[in-house]
């Protein structure tokens, strides 16, 4: 009986060689998966085939430790973030803890950082000789970025340099030596409604389609204006922003900045995940939804999943290095070295013309 799916598939695919993308309805509910080919892309330092996720959690008591946080959200992060304050020493314990937990540390130097502090941080990064992200978030000041980035290039060549700027940026000039660009989407609220940066992020990702993009996002859950909570709207916004990782293949990391923002010495907005159980749950699902593969394009070809095998027809097999499946049906072949996306019905193959 185990051969029945193959027999049904063989019968149904006869004569379909010239229209592989047509929908095939079988008595067994066999569903065609679109075959995707890897597109050309030069990877940035520390870039992964999957889109990575990260978080700043130092304000999220009692979940400001990696183990407690990941247990709560039921998902694993790749990156953890520390914002270095003006005059602050190198956060050695943070970096060591990240490596002990198998995470990539990311240090952020803000616009008030001075040359001497950047020099000290670069020297220590170099002495550690470990890969990590360094975001130089200087409000789009390319001259200051270039001055400080030269320190890291000289003293700490294993660091991946990130040029950070706000999502509402209008100009598109970039420093030449930035490994990554970071779009900071720290959203606000007006009249009880979240001012979404979704369209701005889309615009920038398309404008920088040839660059590796990192998103740093913060969605307001609470505003001090009338003590307004917007939990349901914030949940929807988190889902929407994380869906961008599936829509824009050059997004290589999505980081959530779980923090409160101050104005005139008082809390104006809170984007902390710990504000609500619903927010924590939604965030965990959003992290888990990040695509496992990137930089693939749909092709006109389809394949079919039978057990743990991907089956294609003979003309598709010529492009996929498929092998005989061990039956008398020579027009059916099995593909090897693939990645499946059952939710999106995609088969990702490397070295396939497209």
Could you report the per-residue pLDDT of 51-76, keeping only the tens digit for each?
999 999 999 888 999 999 999 999 99
Encode pLDDT of 188-219 as tens digits: 888 778 999 999 999 999 999 889 999 999 99
Phi, psi torsion values for 171, nearest 5 degrees:
-80, 160
Q: pTM of this prediction? A: 0.79
Please give the pLDDT value at position 292: 74
Please give the pLDDT value at position 18: 42
Q: Where in the chain are the domains?
A: 4-40+296-349, 52-288
Structure tokens at 51: 């889109």
Element spanning 277, H or E: helix 277-288
Cis peptide before 62 (omega within 30 of 0): yes
- Model confidence at 228, pLDDT cuts 50, 70, 90, reads confident
* 3-class DSSP state of 82: strand
Please give the pLDDT value at position 331: 62
Give the contacts of 9 (CB within 8 A, at least 6 positions apart): 26, 30, 304, 306, 311, 332
CA 309 to chain centre: 28
Question: CA 105, CA 94: separation in Å to the nearest integer?
Answer: 8
Is 69 in contact with 346 (CB distance < 8 Å)?
no
Quickly count: other Cβ atoms within 10 Å of residue 267's Cβ. Answer: 12
Encode pLDDT of 254-302 as tens digits: 999 999 887 666 667 889 999 999 999 999 999 999 977 777 778 888 8
Please give the pLDDT value at position 254: 98
Can you name the CATH fold of 52-288?
A: TIM Barrel (3.20.20)
């Amino acid at each position: 009986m185990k051969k029945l799916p193959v027999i049904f598939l063989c019968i149904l695919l006869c004569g379909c060689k010239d229209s592989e993308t047509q929908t095939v309805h079988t008595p067994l509910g066999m569903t065609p998966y679109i075959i995707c080919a890897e597109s050309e892309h030069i990877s940035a330092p520390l870039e992964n085939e999957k889109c990575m996720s990260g978080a700043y959690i130092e304000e999220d008591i009692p979940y400001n430790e990696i183990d407690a946080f990941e247990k709560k959200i039921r998902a694993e992060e790749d990156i953890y973030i520390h914002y270095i304050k003006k005059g602050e020493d190198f956060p050695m314990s943070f970096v060591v803890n990240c490596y002990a937990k198998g995470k990539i540390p990311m240090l952020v130097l803000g616009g008030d950082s001075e040359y001497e502090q950047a020099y000290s941080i670069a020297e220590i990064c170099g002495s550690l000789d470990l890969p990590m992200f360094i975001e130089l978030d200087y409000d789009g000041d390319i001259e200051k970025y270039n001055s400080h980035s030269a320190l890291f290039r000289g003293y700490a060549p294993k660091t991946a340099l990130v040029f950070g700027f706000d999502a509402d940026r209008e100009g598109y000039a970039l420093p030449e030596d930035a490994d990554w660009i970071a779009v900071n989407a720290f959203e606000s609220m007006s009249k009880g409604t979240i001012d979404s940066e979704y369209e701005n992020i889309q615009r920038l990702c398309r404008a920088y389609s040839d660059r590796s993009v990192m998103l740093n996002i913060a969605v307001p859950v609470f505003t001090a204006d009338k003590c307004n909570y917007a939990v349901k709207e914030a949940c929807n916004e988190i889902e929407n922003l994380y869906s961008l990782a599936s829509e824009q293949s050059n997004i290589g990391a999505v980081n959530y900045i779980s923090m409160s923002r101050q104005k005139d010495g008082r809390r104006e907005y809170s984007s902390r995940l710990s504000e609500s159980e619903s927010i924590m749950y939604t965030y965990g699902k959003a992290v888990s939804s990040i695509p496992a593969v990137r930089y693939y394009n749909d092709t006109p070809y389809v394949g079919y999943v039978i057990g743990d095998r991907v089956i294609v027809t003979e003309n598709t097999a010529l492009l996929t290095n498929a092998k005989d499946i061990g039956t008398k049906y020579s027009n059916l072949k099995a593909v090897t070295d693939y990645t499946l996306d059952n939710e999106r019905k995609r088969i990702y193959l490397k070295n396939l013309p497209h």
